[in-house]
Chains A and B, each alone.
Chain A
Amino acid sequence: MPVIDLATTPLRELNQALHDAAAPGHNDTEFEVINPKGAHAVAVGVSAPVTVEVKGSVGYYCGGMNEQASITVHGSAGPGVAENMMSGTVVIKGDASQYAGATGRGGLLVIEGNAASRCGISMKGINIVVRGNIGHMSAFMAQSGNLVVLGDAGEALGDSLYEARLFVRGAVKSLGADCIAKEMRPEHLELLEGLLAEAGITDARPEEFTRYGSARTLYNFNIDNADAY
């Protein structure tokens, strides 16, 4: 298994090695990254079913645009972790800063600590599971996918939400424009059970969560809704 030491190896070499893993003739499928020390853009644009274990905390955009890879950060992550992820899995053992999973289109992002503001902003199909709390304006303009929060949510959850589904077990400080609590139907319980299992969470039951979604009142312009914008 290649071990890449970011204390001595340029970032470019790390990412190129991970990109090369998708090319024919490259047989390495497991990588370890040591001494990340908050480096930005670690393991971005990976498009292969490889495993990347990052031993330490990372800066901005770790796992950005990930496709197929399983990336685990044994530390905390800076802003924009797994932004625009297409598929695969990113797991953050610590906390994540703002914009976690922004615009993600697929795959699973698991944050075992807390996530800061704007978690899941503009998400487009990604599944995000946060064991702790999430900050304000999370799931802003979220279009598709599922955001699961075992802790509490900050202010203005799901503001201007489209069709993403939000499941929160704890308290929600306030809901954003056009975001409402919705009935948890059997298909949602089933969906949530699957997401929790996929994230490796065994100490929470789907029935403990509340589902939030779009009231769809802002989908088309209406002057009488102007105060909501």
Chain B
Amino acid sequence: MSQNNHPTTPRKSATFDDYTMSEIRRAAATGIYDIRGGGTKRKVPHFDDLLFLGASMSRYPLEGYREKCSTEVVLGTRFAKKPITLKIPITIAGMSFGSLSGPAKEALGRGATLAGTSTTTGDGGMTEEERGHSETLVYQYLPSRYGMNPRDLRRADAIEIVIGQGAKPGGGGMLLGQKISDRVAEMRTLPKGIDQRSACRHPDWTGPDDLEIKILELREITGWEKPIYIKVGGARPYYDTALAVKAGADVVVLDGMQGGTAATQEVFIEHVGMPTLACIRPAVQALQDLGMHRKVQLVVSGGIRNGADVAKALALGADAVSIGTAALVALGDNDPKWEAEYQALGTTAGSYDDWHEGRDPAGITTQDPELASRLDPVLAGRRLANYLKVMTLEAQTIARACGKSHVHNLEPEDLVALTIEASAMAGVPLAGTSWIPGKTGF
């Protein structure tokens, strides 16, 4: 019998799948690693793997539209003379002018202010657009120190010392030449058009003992008024949080690997750092072990998309969350209305991540004046405010169903996990059992 009558079905390798092989061909053709924006795209255990139990016989729910469920959060109560009070437990993460356009930064400020929350500068200094339109502005203190000056420190409402971010713990910023316009170059004291690589370490301190002194200096310069945040990427959350507390932080910002970046190597984004879900409980444990839970506030970021994610992060012990990628989507990033232009760039709406190239059809991650003019900062700000308010309502809905009069009253006992992995990471039982892998018997 001829073998042709029974041909072997073509079988693709699970190891050398289409994407992997195309990356090998791309690397061979171009001689450079892939650079992109955003956070990890691989599937990792996440908030979707958790469920709230809600109220029943053993818990008493609150009326959805009548009984109060507060969402206010105060950040910086440990040392700062002027802590920040936010109406909602959702903040806008640091994103630089340079990676984002001026109108996009303005829109973030407008949206955050309408919703009663803060926005954050990034690795490019403070712009008038965002200071002018942000009622509460957090000023990032980064290794590059681009644009750093005492005037902006003093007119900030809080200072966030950035040690790392979830997309690239241990990596510095990157802004390629296409986006180093005259204005960006001037703010960063760099030649126009170069491929800028920020340092990954701060230039004038190493380790938590030095950082404690650095924080002293920043507090002295700003009269001990400003809350000082320390932002870390999700790597060793127990020890990083404990050391941040030791160094004198008022607030710890913890960013998991789903957290986005403006640009870095794909291999970095996908293979360094831990999922957000895996970071929260160790960080909370560190705060509890030090007697500092709720005294040093914990802000969690990386893959927060809706009110359920917010509620779950708070139930696991966070005081607030921070969003970056979702905020850009609310402004208009990756909107299908630009599909023809995404196609022309070799991608599709929902997948566009070459933010470093500055050709964003939505006009957000660009320094091209014509593209940037596509974003109306007033309308985009309104969209962001709507989105933030919806997320807050969703979180309140869940909190009331769990019988909580403040979203901070949500607790791990309100949660179960759908998978063993999520159960182990979040430290809550597998649904229908009392089993937490590694902690309890069954």
Interface, chain A (partner B; CB < 8 A): 11-12, 15-16, 19, 40-41, 44-45, 47, 59-61, 64-65, 67, 79-80, 83-84, 86, 99, 102-103, 105, 118, 121-122, 124-125, 140-141, 143-144, 162-163, 219-221, 223-224
Contacts and interface: CB of A to CB of B under 8 A. Distances in A.
Interface stretch (B61-69, B95-103, B212-220, B288-296): B212-220
A99 B189 CA distance: 19
A105 B149 contact: yes
Given A59-B213, A99-B205, A122-B199, 5 more contacts: A41-B216, A45-B222, A83-B204, A219-B191, A221-B195
Given A79-B204, A162-B190, A103 B220 contact: no
Given A40-B216, A79-B204, A84 B31 contact: no
Given A103-B204, A118-B203, A121-B203, A86 B149 contact: yes
Contact of B199 (A79, A141, A223): A141
Interface in B210-267: 210, 213-214, 216-217, 220-224
Task: Please name the 3 residue pairs, one residue from A and one from B, whose CB atoms are nearest each other, closest first.
Answer: A45-B221, A223-B31, A80-B204
A31 to B, nearest CB: 15
Given A61-B214, A125-B189, A86 B204 contact: no
B190 A143 contact: yes
B406 interface: no
Contacts of A219: 191, 194-195
B204 A61 contact: yes
A221 B32 contact: yes
A19 B204 contact: no
A16 to B, nearest CB: 7
B191 A103 contact: no
A79 B205 CA distance: 8
A60 B224 contact: no
A99 B190 contact: no
Interface in B356-379: none
Contact of B189 (A45, A86, A144): A144
Contacts of A125: 189
8 contacts: A41-B216, A45-B150, A80-B205, A84-B145, A143-B188, A143-B189, A220-B177, A223-B30
Contacts of A102: 203-204
Given A45-B150, A64-B217, A124 B189 contact: yes
A225 to B, nearest CB: 11
Contacts of B148: 84, 103
A143 B146 CA distance: 10
Contact of A122 (B144, B193, B217): B144
Name the residue in A16, A118, A162 with the highest tally of chain B Cβ atoms < 10 Å from its Cβ.
Answer: A162
Nearest to B215: A41
B202 to A, nearest CB: 9
A60 B199 contact: no
A105 B216 CA distance: 21
Contacts, number: 100
A141 B190 CA distance: 11
Contacts of B203: 83, 99, 102-103, 118, 121-122, 140-141
Contacts of A59: 213
A207 B214 CA distance: 39
Nearest to A60: B213
B145 A124 contact: yes
Main secondary structure of the interface of B (DSSP, over half): loop
A40 B213 contact: yes
Contacts of B144: 122
Given A105-B149, A118-B203, A60 B217 contact: yes
Given A61-B204, A219-B195, A12 B150 contact: no
A54 to B, nearest CB: 15
Contacts of B204: 61, 79-80, 83, 99, 102-103, 121
Contact of B191 (A15, A40, A61, A163): A163
A97 to B, nearest CB: 10
A60 B221 contact: no
Contacts of A47: 150
A134 to B, nearest CB: 15
Interface string B152-169: 010000000000000000
Contacts of A84: 145, 148-150
A160 to B, nearest CB: 8
A12 B194 contact: no
Contacts of A140: 203
Contacts of B210: 60, 79
A103 B189 CA distance: 11
Nearest to B32: A223
Nearest to A42: B220
A144 B188 CA distance: 11
A125 B189 CA distance: 8
B190 A61 contact: no
Contacts of A67: 150
A152 B294 CA distance: 52
B220 A11 contact: yes
Nearest to A80: B204
A140 B197 CA distance: 13
Nearest to B221: A45
Contact of B221 (A64, A79, A143): A64
A81 B59 CA distance: 59
A132 B194 CA distance: 34
B206 to A, nearest CB: 9
Nearest to A214: B191
A60 B199 CA distance: 21
